[in-house]
Structure 1
């Protein structure tokens, strides 16, 4: 039983490094912007996006550790990626067009 829990923890931690690395990659390129004309509104959306993705990842991670079901790491990570892509590709441009322009 102890070995099974250890393997589960290793799988969960390894699988959750993928979304966490994506959040870090997104955060790095949101902060490091070499263009001379920075838009404070887009900076606000970038910070909001990073916070939203981090909170969503933390809830996913907590749920995987708490429930300890073997299908949750893969399903949770795939669902996280789908929600993040929909949010970044559809949600942010829609919100920006509706409320800013």
Structure 2
């Protein structure tokens, strides 16, 4: 996923709804998890389950997950932990 500092904020966006991320252990050189959604159009109904992203070698830094205007739920513990998703509300569900 792209780093949020590399993406400019857009005022109009595609609606992101009902995406599930279900992974087992996945080794990566750099570990970044980012859910950067539009200010005017939030991402809704995101689901994370069994997500385990770990660096290929010890000593690599695992970035803290980043969320912006992203709504959803974490069904199982994730690596790294994702605490930034906002809970779904009746106003955000479609």
TM interval, short-chain normalised: under 0.3
Structure that is richer in strand per residue: 2
TM-score with structure 2 length normalisation?
Answer: 0.25
Structure that is richer in helix per residue: 1
